[in-house]
Amino acid sequence: MQTRLIKNYSLQRLNASENVVQIKTCERLHIYYINSLKLFNECTVSPDVRSVCEKCAKVTKSDMAYPLCCSQRSDREWCQLFLDYTLSQK
């Protein structure tokens, strides 16, 4: 069993043969069945990506924002647009 801490998230590989991943946040516990453990690869490789994903998770207050942002480029682009959005001043 392997455990890594990423900010407020704890990633734990529960079963190596089935690729079951457990993500424990501050309040909730989510279990994901995935084909590989590349769920957090982008955030572990690039500090810039990790920074965007952490900000997105904090601002949106969503438990799913960080894992999705780290795993999919389209979700990361959405997070960046969301963080850059400002209301026009009149």
User: pLDDT tens per residue, the chain (90 residues)?
Assistant: 444 444 444 444 444 444 445 555 544 545 444 444 444 578 888 899 999 999 999 999 988 899 889 888 899 999 999 999 877 776
In 7-87, which ranges are E strands?
9-15, 20-24, 29-33
DSSP 34: -
Query: What is the model's pLDDT at position 59?
Result: 93
At 38, phi and psi to the nearest 5? -90, 10
